[in-house]
């Protein structure tokens, strides 16, 4: 029983067919890497699966629920509750401290402030950032920033985590540590992880690698 599935997903930008009918099935707790050349549709696939972009045709299912049939308001609620995002653009709020940033999804989901902050502190400790709870995003290193984003993505225990080039701005060792942190905490909560990456060392950590070519999934030889 997949946690997330795309069936015949089509997405066009004017004349450009970014997704030409994609079928994909992701099991609970599974780690999937999406690779492929620039412009092959990786980001578009991630955004459609995550309910950020509407599909032009086909369906995306979260469990048995067709999220492609929801209104934008309903999808927005679903993104805040069922999904977690680790994007390069961060989505961390510069003016807030680490613990406030990590607590934010919990507070938006209705948790009382004290409870949200306490939970956020625990997540920061788990990611080795226990001493940085009061720092703002501009006051930590790149690797710490990515772990902060991971804590934020996981704090509300999403069922699927979407990561777009999570190691893109990091050196090799920090990138490895970041991926290890992400996969460890995802496994602890049985969250599925969908990672778009150019980084072979990241792709090797996935249970399954999907290669995109011209808006389709191309079969890829095992690495």
Select from 22, 26, 43, 148 the one that contacts ligand ADP (CB under 6 A): 43
Exposure class string for 5-37: b at 16+ Cβ within 10 A, else e: bbbebbbeeeeebbbbbbebebeeebbbbbbbe
| Cβ-Cβ contacts under 8 Å for 58 (sequence gap 6 or more) | 6, 7, 8, 9, 10, 21, 22, 68
Q: Does 38 bind ligand ADP (CB under 6 A)?
A: yes
Report the C-alpha gap between 176 and 43 in whole angstroms. 22
Q: Does 89 bind ligand ADP (CB under 6 A)?
A: yes
From 57-65, 84-92, 96-104, 202-210, give the range in contact with ligand ADP by CB under 6 A: 84-92
Q: Does 39 bind ligand ADP (CB under 6 A)?
A: yes
Taking CB under 6 A as the rule, which mask of x and - marks residues 130-159 in contact with ligand ADP? ------------------------------
Q: Does 167 bind ligand ADP (CB under 6 A)?
A: no
162 and 44 in contact (C-beta within 8 Å)?
Answer: no
Chain positions contacting ligand ADP, by CB under 6 A: 13, 16, 18, 36, 38-44, 47, 52, 79, 85, 87-89, 164, 212
């Amino acid at each position: 029983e997949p946690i997330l599935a795309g069936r015949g997903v089509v997405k066009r930008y004017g004349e450009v067919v970014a997704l030409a009918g994609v079928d994909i099935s992701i099991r609970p707790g599974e780690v999937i890497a999406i690779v492929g050349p620039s412009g092959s549709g990786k980001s578009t696939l991630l955004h459609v699966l995550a309910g950020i972009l509407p599909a032009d045709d086909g369906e995306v299912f979260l469990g048995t629920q067709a999220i492609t049939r929801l209104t934008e308001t309903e999808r927005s609620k679903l993104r805040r509750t069922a999904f977690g995002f680790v994007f390069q653009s961060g989505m961390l709020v510069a003016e807030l401290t680490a613990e406030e940033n990590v607590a934010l999804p919990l507070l938006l989901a209705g948790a009382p402030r004290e409870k949200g902050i306490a939970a956020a502190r625990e997540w920061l400790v788990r990611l080795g950032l226990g001493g940085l709870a009061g720092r703002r995003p501009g006051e930590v290193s790149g690797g710490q920033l990515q772990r902060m984003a991971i804590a934020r993505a996981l704090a509300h225990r999403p069922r699927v985590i979407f990561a777009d080039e999570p190691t893109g701005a990091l050196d090799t060792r920090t990138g490895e540590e970041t991926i290890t942190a992400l996969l460890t905490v995802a496994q602890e909560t049985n969250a599925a992880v969908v990672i778009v990456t150019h980084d072979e060392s990241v792709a090797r950590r996935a249970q399954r690698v999907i290669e995109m070519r011209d808006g389709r999934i191309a079969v890829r030889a095992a690495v």
